[in-house]
Structure 1
Amino acid sequence: MAAGVVLAAVGGDHLAGEPPARLHPVALFGRLVGPIDREWRAPRLVGSVAAVGLPLFAAVAVALAVWLAGDIAPLAGGVIAALILFSTISLRLLCTTAGDVLAQTDTDLAGAREALLALAGRDAADLSAAHVRSAAVESVAENLSDGFLAPLVGFGVASVVAGWWLSPGVTLPAATAAAAWIKAVNTMDSMVGYRSKPVGWAAARLDDLVMWVPARLTALAISAAALSPDPVLTGRRWARLPASPNAGWPMATLAAALGVRLEKPGHYTLNSVAALPTTAEGHYGVTLVGRAGWLTALATVVIVGV
């Protein structure tokens, strides 16, 4: 059942992309997070309670939905689980958006700068075409980890562990809850996990902890997609240059795989001896990310199917 859920979720992402925003469970969760993003007398305390409580609430709600549906009919539980897992992953939209940004750098730099905002939360107003391409490549690598691999692998690992210790009827709800919890943690970090927001301190620290393993697995997946161990072995030298303890791993690995420099001016430079990516190199980077995503999906199917 779990392998079928993964195949259905990944297939749905490939065929349909994102659910409508008004119905997207992640957007609905964002409405729960929104009210905490304001001034508080004890912002770290409020943020800590929210960082623990809101993702846990999402996970419990998901587990109950899958369990209740499965109690009615096993197939119904599988369908609900597939829909929820589908809502936690995004590969098609990620690659399509990055490809559109890269294409526009040759014909419409202003449009490329504006489109980049859907990928990277940085001020793009003064970025050159080459730096826009760099930002797109960096973001597609980082978001592969946050928006695809982490919830998918979380589902797979939880499915195996729950299968060892829990009854069959609880395994699928537990696995789906794990994917939802990871996505909720990451969503909170993306909304409030900034240095300028004390209320987001706990959300950012929790996301750093949760994403430690997925970021490094993403680097391995990108290297595997490039059919060589060299990108991850070379990229690890630059992986700690960004302030994030995790984001540098997939970005540095992709920089090494492409043989390009990836740079956020004033913050970090990965592979400083190379040139910034051309449009063709950027598109190949997106291809590698897509390939790495499919390899991850295949590995998850194998893990849960064993």
Structure 2
Amino acid sequence: MSLTTLAIIGLAFSLDLLIAEPPTAAHPVAWFGRLVGTLDREWRPDDRGQRAVGVAIAVGAPLIPAAVAGGVVLAATDAHPTAGGVAAAVVLFLTTSLRSLLDLTEEVIAATDAEPQNKGSDEGDFDQARERIRGLVGRDTSTLSAGQLRSAAVESAAENLADGLVATLLPFAVLAPISLPAAAAAAAWVKGVNTLDSMLGYPSKPIGTASARLDDLVMFVPARLTAAAIAVAAADPFALARARQWARAPPSPNSGWPMATLACVLGVRLEKPAVYVLNPGADLPTLADGERAISLVGLAAVVSVVVAAVLALVVDELAAALAVDRGGAAVTGLALASVGGSALVLLGRWATEVSPGWR
């Protein structure tokens, strides 16, 4: 089973390298995003009521892609084991994103080389950098300098390595040796949680409070493992210790870890104006720093895949030693997802009474 898992992971990332991402109209994550968009409305007249509805959304919505992904892989596996493996690889491909992240980051970094010195000089390319960066970050880019645009791109590359790759890859690798349907369901569930947070998890949206809290819980381990992968990729193991002092500077309890670690290994300052500064004693990234950041994030992704492969091998050995019933693990995996969602209900009262500005 471990060899099957490694082959599935390899196929998924081969698809990523070849295709990057399917068109939006054909991407299941985009479909889920449209569903979330229909839920983003005023259900109750007060913030507390909105937060209560948000708990139900946070619990229920991610179970939809989890059930679909798990069901598809289960049906494919019943038809033929090879079909199940291919279906699981497609699910992993659809719930991770690496090439598109690196390509977009590279485009932004390259375009910042054309910062206009005078009005009218090379403004087209620099304006393109401002426009393209909106695909990575949500901040206002209209007044950002070249260094600040590069900072935003580098920050996003580090954060999205955790959100877009490590967060779904790790649970998939852990569960795949036991049950491919459970692994697919887990990857889709995590992607659903991430999508809810990215669309609803803002202080101005009480309906997203529970989704943001759940995402904080889900991303706790992946964010720190991503930081470790960046340190390993840079051959700078002490970067984690240096990054610790700035990791809590961003409002998110998790995103600061990969961002601060990347700032430390690059020796640059990363900042979101009026919000946070990481490694404040250094300068903003140069063009060369931005290019090195892309290489390091790509190498950190390779490190993450290797770690996932090792985890799959370890789990396979443990499952064999403990004589785990792999045939029934699909139901177990889906049940665990349901239990995890139900646990969030216990946080409901806390979430509904939290200040809208908790983040």
TM over 0.5: yes
CA distance in 2, matches of 1:229, 1:305: 25
1:229 corresponds to 2:229? no
Alpha-carbon distance, 1:25 to partner? 1.0
Give CA deviations for 1:175-205 in whole Å, capped at 9, x if unaligned.
1111111011000100111111111111111
Q: What letter corresponds to residue 250 of structure 1 in structure 2? A: P
Alpha-carbon distance, 1:3 to partner? 1.7
CA distance in 2, matches of 1:280, 1:189: 33
Q: TM-score, normalised by structure 1?
A: 0.95
Alpha-carbon distance, 1:303 to partner? 2.2
Q: What letter corresponds to residue 265 of structure 1 in structure 2? A: P
Counterpart of 1:56 in structure 2 is 63
CA distance in 1, matches of 2:126, 2:275: 22
Q: TM-score, normalised by structure 2?
A: 0.81
The equivalent position to 1:78 in structure 2, one of 85, 88, 100, is 85
The 5-angstrom pairing of residues 181-196 of structure 1 reads 181-196=189-204
Q: What letter corresponds to residue 8 of structure 1 in structure 2? A: L
CA distance in 2, matches of 1:75, 1:21: 27
The equivalent position to 2:226 in structure 1, one of 218, 226, 233, is 218
Counterpart of 1:35 in structure 2 is 38
SS of the counterpart of 2:42?
coil
CA distance in 2, matches of 1:232, 1:285: 16
Runs of 4+ in structure 1 over 6 Å off? none
Counterpart of 2:52 in structure 1 is 45
The 5-angstrom pairing of residues 1-306 of structure 1 reads 1-41=4-44, 42-107=49-114, 108-159=125-176, 163=178, 171-306=179-314
CA distance in 1, matches of 2:250, 2:313: 37
Alpha-carbon distance, 1:227 to partner? 1.1
User: What's the % identity of the aligned pairs?
Assistant: 54
Alpha-carbon distance, 1:279 to partner? 0.7
State the superposition RMSD in angstroms.
1.0
Alpha-carbon distance, 1:158 to partner? 2.6
Give CA deviations for 1:87-107 in whole Å, capped at 9, x if unaligned.
011111101100110110112
Alpha-carbon distance, 1:228 to partner? 1.8
Contact 1:36 1:47 in 2 (8 A): no
Contact 1:234 1:256 in 2 (8 A): yes
Give CA deviations for 1:124-153 in whole Å, capped at 9, x if unaligned.
011111100100000000000000111001
Alpha-carbon distance, 1:220 to partner? 0.2
Give CA deviations for 1:70-115 in whole Å, capped at 9, x if unaligned.
0010011111111111001111110110011011011222111111
CA distance in 2, matches of 1:157, 1:74: 19
Contact 1:226 1:288 in 2 (8 A): yes
CA distance in 2, matches of 1:304, 1:229: 24
Unpaired runs of 5+ residues, structure 2, are 115-124, 315-359
Q: What letter corresponds to residue 193 of structure 1 in structure 2? A: G
- Number of aligned residue pairs: give it: 297
CA distance in 1, matches of 2:169, 2:113: 34
CA distance in 2, matches of 1:288, 1:232: 15
CA distance in 1, matches of 2:230, 2:52: 38
Contact 1:7 1:301 in 2 (8 A): no
SS of the counterpart of 1:263?
strand
Larger Rg: 2
SS of the counterpart of 1:269?
strand
Counterpart of 1:167 in structure 2 is none
Unpaired runs of 5+ residues, structure 1, are 164-170
CA distance in 1, matches of 2:109, 2:51: 39
Give CA deviations for 1:183-236 in whole Å, capped at 9, x if unaligned.
110001001111111111111110001000000000000000001202212111
**Of 148-157 and 256-265, the range deviating more from structure 2:** 148-157
Contact 1:10 1:297 in 2 (8 A): no
Counterpart of 2:353 in structure 1 is none
